[in-house]
Amino acid sequence: MIKKNIGTVSVVTSLLIAAGVLVGCQGMEQGSGQKASANLESRSGSKTTGEVNFVSQGKDVLVTGKFSGLKPNSEHGFHVHEKGDCSSADATSAGGHFNPDGKPHGSPGSGAHHAGDMPNIKTDAAGNATYSAKLHGFTVNTGPNGIVGKSVVVHRDPDDYKSQPAGNSGPRIACGLIKS
């Protein structure tokens, strides 16, 4: 009887360990906890700078940021762009919006939109902004929907979420490479 109970305990323990490994692997597939960041530098003659952080939370990504040098009491388009290249003076080297699924431009959370479409940045009376949004459609890695190695861009004007292909948000005034 004792041997049988010890065997049962061993089998149960083995099953629990296997289940824990499986759950752990599922979390890794969804990207839980993966992090990346970007330091934004001024472009197009602006004085805009900022820092953006990306943290995977299951199938979502928490995007947070701090920005300065923006127009006071205004909104600014904010997007992940397809290329990790901010070398040109106007940041056009970053390419278009990150759009691995070929969807039309739109508002995140309401219908079809580019994976790189994010809510506008809203500034205070001093032209500073703190940003936080929980988004989905991209991952914090280098996979097909991954943003690591891409760029993040702040635009001069607000995104209207309607105009194609980029929301009529004007010149690119800050750009940064997304790194893990």
Is residue 156 annotated as part of the catalytic site, yes or no? no
Which among 76, 79, 113, 156 is annotated as catalytic?
Answer: 79
Q: Which of 43, 76, 113, 117 is catalytic?
A: 117
Q: Which of 76, 81, 113, 156 is catalytic?
A: 81
d(CA 16, CA 18): 5
Residue ranges of E strands in 49-103: 49-57, 60-68, 75-81
The one catalytic residue in 105, 113, 156, 159 is 105
Taking the C-alpha atoms of residue 78 and residue 161, their distance in angstroms, rounded to an integer, is 11
Q: Please say if 79 is a catalytic residue.
A: yes
Does the annotation mark 136 as catalytic?
A: no
- Catalytic residue flag (residue 76): no
- The answer to whether residues 71 and 125 touch, using CB atoms and an 8 Å cutoff, is no
Can 113 be counted among the known catalytic residues? no
Q: How far apart are CA 130 and CA 148, in angstroms?
A: 22
Catalytic residue among 43, 97, 113, 156: 97
| Catalytic site includes residue 172 | yes
Distance (Å, whole) CA 82 – CA 51: 19
| 155 part of the active site | yes
Among the listed residues 113, 155, 156, 159, the single catalytic one is: 155
Q: Which of 43, 114, 156, 159 is catalytic?
A: 114
Q: Which residues are annotated as catalytic?
A: 79, 81, 97, 105, 114, 117, 155, 172
